[in-house]
A and B are shown apart, each in its own frame.
Chain A
Amino acid sequence: MKNKTLLILILLFFAFCFVVFLKGLKTSNIYIPETTLNKDLAVFASKDFFTGDQISFDEIFVNSEFYILNIWASWCLPCKKEHKFLMQLSKNKSIKLIGLNYKDKRKNAQKFIGKLGNPYSAIFTDEDGTISIKLGAYGIPETYVIDKNRKIIKKIIGPLNKKLLKEVSLIIR
């Protein structure tokens, strides 16, 4: 009798493990970062791209309904691809487009915006990549839609495209 109970208990235990692992197999183990957020924008200060002066985000993120923060670099090919969409966005007067130049050489970055156009109303520099980490960035390009209360409402990982531009336009409308 005791042996039977033990056998049943062991069987039940294995059945339980089987169900747990089977359920685990069905759930995706691919990491998908969160793109819809409602987080406060990190507090940071950095050098102004043009003047080299230290500026705080407090001085830049003011007087706009929406802000779009774009992390870019001249050495990043997808950044080149998305640039035309940023130029389109810059025509929208209800937003302020802010750039964060990531681990770049100033000369190359200047060439980049000189050639393709400057969509940004202000550009910060992120020389060692730590500001991007403070923002929760994975790589570049990355774009954040920020509301007037400085809350990140959308994060776009990778280059902007037509579809994403539409999404952003819908948010800021």
Chain B
Amino acid sequence: MKLFNFFLSVIFIFIFTIANSSEKQSELKNKISKNIRCLICQGQSVYDSQSDFAVSVQLMIEQKLEEGLNEDEIYEFLKDLYGQWIVYDPEFNKNTLILWILPILLFLTGGAIIIRKLKIKKL
């Protein structure tokens, strides 16, 4: 009986581990495909689209995950094939510098103005 229980728990743990890892992989696949632009659709991600292109890209993402590539490596792989445009998140480079810096600058300036105003009021 003890042996039976032991085997049962081993099988249970095994199934649970497999199910958990495949669920994690599927979540990651969805996350990546949501950040990949469907290049032949109007404003849709690969995740949202059912076009041949999107379906094939999703399959490719799945294959690459199975090969052991991580999220960033998959983005790099697709960027190498289709260019920067394929990812929704723009890369930090000299062309996108303003795009990344401007919101931070605005936030800091706004914050500074508010603090100053509050200080003046207190005085």
> Using a CB–CB distance below 8 Å, which chain A residues touch chain B?
20, 31, 33-34, 103, 128-130, 132-136, 138-139
State whether B56 touches A133 (Cβ < 8 A). yes
Instruction: Answer whether A130 and B59 are a contact pair too, CB < 8 Å, given A34-B83, A136-B81, A136-B82.
Output: yes
**Count of inter-chain pairs, beta carbons less than 8 A:** 37
The smallest C-beta distance from B55 to any residue of chain A, in angstroms, reads 7
State whether B81 touches A133 (Cβ < 8 A). yes
Decide if the interface of chain B is mainly helix, strand, loop or mixed.
helix
Instruction: Answer whether A130 and B60 are a contact pair too, CB < 8 Å, given A20-B98, A139-B52.
Output: yes
Give Cα A128–Cα B81 distance, bound, in whole angstroms: 18
**Which residues on B sit within 8 Å (CB–CB) of A132?**
56
In this complex, how many residues of chain B approach chain A with their Cβ under 8 Å: the count is 15
**Which residues on A sit within 8 Å (CB–CB) of B100?**
none
State whether B59 touches A129 (Cβ < 8 A). yes
User: Of all chain B residues, which has the CB nearest A6?
Assistant: B113
Instruction: Answer whether A138 and B63 are a contact pair too, CB < 8 Å, given A20-B98, A103-B52, A133-B56.
Output: no
**Which residues on B sit within 8 Å (CB–CB) of A136?**
81-82
Give Cα A133–Cα B64 distance, bound, in whole angstroms: 12
State whether A128 touches B39 (Cβ < 8 A). no
Instruction: Answer whether A133 and B52 are a contact pair too, CB < 8 Å, given A20-B98, A31-B39.
Output: no
Q: Give the residue of B53, B60, B63, B85 whose beta carbon is less than 8 angstroms from that of A139.
A: B53
**Which residues on B sit within 8 Å (CB–CB) of A130?**
56, 59-60, 63
Question: Is residue B19 within 8 Å, beta carbon to beta carbon, of the partner chain?
Answer: no
The smallest C-beta distance from A61 to any residue of chain B, in angstroms, reads 19
**Which residues on B sit within 8 Å (CB–CB) of A134?**
60, 81
Give Cα A136–Cα B40 distance, bound, in whole angstroms: 13
**Which residues on B sit within 8 Å (CB–CB) of A103?**
52
Give Cα A147–Cα B4 distance, bound, in whole angstroms: 65
**Which residues on B sit within 8 Å (CB–CB) of A133?**
53, 56-57, 59-60, 81
Give Cα A129–Cα B85 distance, bound, in whole angstroms: 21
Q: Give the residue of A34, A129, A138 whose beta carbon is less than 8 angstroms from that of B55.
A: A129
